[in-house]
């Protein structure tokens, strides 16, 4: 049986706040298989990006820390790795596309220079060889006239082109895992579709596993095989995408799915109002409490939801929901 490429076990991440220490990630476990595409989905502040930063070893210094748990990549526990070892892994074996390419790219260097720097640092290529490879990478991510565009600065490129540059940088060293944090934020729908097509093609060509972070259920349905629904730093539900979309077992997942607009099948069909998830996400000071953190927003809550943390209940095909009433959903 194939071993997971990445195994996160009982991960707890704590963040210093004005009100004390808060567990922004609380007892998170999941596996990522070679070549698999898994998506994290949930509202802003639920812990998706913090999980990615922990995997990369980029938690904010002096503010965030891994309090317990393991992150095992290719048999190596990254929580025990030295900073120099993490630097070797970042970009080389695990690549990341950050949320906003305009702030992630250096405005005073050309895009070709920035891609070449990654190759020189991790692959030991000469300046000319790294530049030539950077041009090839720009061509691979379908940027027109890659030879001339390599000499362009980030501000001279469109949002979609900058995102492609970020993908080229992340894939420069052929990493085993690519983390895409909101890879289509602020892009129009046409460009979003192009980016998704590009990621699919690159995954087929390279066999890279992808962790995609998003709040867009449509993107999850289009791109991923499995999904992890996060809420207030905890896993609410995990399982195959089609199975969860067809039969979500957690009320929060159901709420997210019901918020997605659907195209009407006929012009005469009555349009129904979208169902919203009532209430707001709890504040950080409430994270980690021994109860269901979604209970205040849930129409199915009972006293046990308010008194105890819900257990993880397993269903067919590995679908798991952390909810007291998952069987009744």
Same domain for 229 and 101, yes or no, is no
Q: Is position 88 within any domain?
A: no
Residue 108: pLDDT over 70: yes
Strand order in 94-97's β-sheet? 94-97, 177-181, 209-214, 37-41, 226-231, 234-240, 320-322, 312-314
- What pLDDT shows up at residue 317? 87
Q: What is the average pLDDT score of the chain?
A: 90
- What pLDDT shows up at residue 265? 55
Looking at residue 286, what DSSP letter applies?
A: G
Task: For 229-288, write each residue's pLDDT tens digit.
Answer: 999 999 999 999 999 999 999 999 999 988 777 655 555 556 566 677 888 888 888 898
Same domain for 101 and 61, yes or no, is no
Same domain for 15 and 56, yes or no, is yes
Q: Which residues contact 265 (CB under 8 A, 6 or more apart)?
A: none
How confident is residue 159, by pLDDT bands cut at 50, 70 and 90?
A: confident
The three-state secondary structure class of 244 is helix
Same domain for 137 and 42, yes or no, is no
Give the tokens for residue 222.
Answer: 């289009």
Q: Is position 87 within any domain?
A: no
Q: Is position 132 within any domain?
A: yes
Q: Is position 221 within any domain?
A: yes
- What pLDDT shows up at residue 180? 92
Same domain for 283 and 152, yes or no, is no
Are 34 and 206 in contact by the 8 Å Cβ rule? The answer is no
Task: For 214-230, write each residue's pLDDT tens digit.
Answer: 988 888 988 999 999 99
Same domain for 158 and 41, yes or no, is no
Distance CA 277, CA 279 (A): 7
- What pLDDT shows up at residue 104? 83
Q: Is position 86 within any domain?
A: no
Q: Which residues contact 237 (CB under 8 A, 6 or more apart)?
A: 227, 228, 229, 244, 248, 249, 250, 252, 253, 319, 320, 321, 322, 323
The three-state secondary structure class of 199 is helix
Are 211 and 32 in contact by the 8 Å Cβ rule? The answer is yes
Distance CA 11, CA 15 (A): 13
Residue 8: pLDDT over 60: yes
Q: Indicate the range of 82-96, 129-143, 184-198 predicted with least confidence.
A: 184-198
Residue 165: pLDDT over 80: yes
Q: Is position 231 within any domain?
A: yes
Same domain for 98 and 67, yes or no, is no
Same domain for 185 and 103, yes or no, is no
Distance CA 229, CA 252 (A): 9
Distance CA 132, CA 322 (A): 50
Task: For 64-88, write each residue's pLDDT tens digit.
Answer: 999 999 999 999 999 999 999 999 9
Q: Is position 74 within any domain?
A: yes
Report, as an integer, the average pLDDT of 1-6: 88
Nearest Cα to Cα of residue 38 among 264, 324, 322, 318: 318
In the chain, the number of structural domains is 2
DSSP labels for 101-152? HHHHS-TTS-HHHHHHHHHHHHH---HHHHHHHHHHHHHHTT-SSHHHHTT-
Same domain for 168 and 242, yes or no, is no
Task: For 110-142, write each residue's pLDDT tens digit.
Answer: 999 999 999 999 889 999 999 999 999 999 888
Same domain for 106 and 234, yes or no, is no
DSSP labels for 305-319? HHHSPPPEEE-GGG-
Same domain for 183 and 310, yes or no, is yes
- What pLDDT shows up at residue 267? 55
Same domain for 227 and 323, yes or no, is yes
Q: Is position 199 within any domain?
A: no
Give the tokens for residue 260.
Answer: 């997605």
- What pLDDT shows up at residue 219? 86
The helix (run of H) or strand (run of E) holding residue 169 is: helix 159-171
How confident is residue 314, by pLDDT bands cut at 50, 70 and 90?
A: very high
Instruction: Give CA 190 to chain center in angstroms.
Output: 21
- What pLDDT shows up at residue 270? 61
- For residue 105, the enclosing domain spans 94-172
Q: In DSSP terms, which residues pair with 16 in a beta bridge?
A: 21
Percent of the chain with pLDDT over 70: 95
- What pLDDT shows up at residue 132? 96
Report, as an integer, the average pLDDT of 307-319: 94
């Amino acid at each position: 049986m194939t071993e997971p490429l990445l195994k996160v076990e009982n991960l707890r991440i704590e963040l210093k706040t004005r009100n004390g220490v808060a567990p922004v990630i609380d007892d998170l476990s999941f596996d990522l298989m070679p070549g698999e595409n898994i998506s994290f989905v949930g509202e802003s502040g639920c812990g998706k990006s913090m999980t990615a930063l922990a995997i990369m070893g980029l938690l904010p210094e002096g503010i965030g820390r891994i309090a317990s748990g393991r992150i095992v990549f290719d048999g190596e526990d990254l929580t025990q790795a030295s900073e120099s070892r993490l630097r070797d892994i970042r970009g080389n074996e695990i690549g990341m596309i950050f949320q906003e390419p305009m702030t992630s790219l250096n405005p005073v260097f050309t895009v070709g220079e920035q891609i070449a720097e990654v190759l020189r640092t991790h692959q030991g290529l000469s300046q000319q060889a790294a530049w030539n490879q950077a041009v090839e990478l720009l061509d691979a991510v379908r940027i027109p006239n890659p030879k001339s565009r390599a000499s362009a600065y980030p501000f001279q490129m469109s949002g979609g082109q900058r995102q492609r540059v970020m993908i080229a940088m992340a894939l420069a060293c052929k990493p085993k895992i690519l983390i895409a944090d909101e890879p289509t934020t602020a892009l129009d729908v046409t460009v979003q579709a192009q980016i998704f097509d590009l990621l699919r093609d690159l995954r087929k060509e390279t066999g890279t596993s992808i962790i995609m972070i998003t709040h867009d259920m449509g993107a999850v349905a289009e791109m991923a095989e499995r999904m992890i629904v996060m809420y207030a730093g905890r896993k609410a539900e995990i399982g195959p995408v089609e199975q969860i979309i067809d039969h979500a077992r957690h009320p929060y997942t159901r709420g997210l799915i019901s918020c997605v607009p659907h195209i009407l099948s006929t012009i005469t069909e009555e349009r129904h109002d979208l169902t919203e998830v009532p209430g707001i996400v709890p504040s950080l000071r409430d994270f980690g409490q021994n109860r269901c953190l979604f209970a205040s927003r849930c129409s199915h809550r009972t006293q046990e939801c308010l008194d105890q943390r819900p257990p993880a209940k397993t269903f067919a095909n590995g679908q798991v929901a952390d909810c007291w009433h998952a069987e009744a959903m």
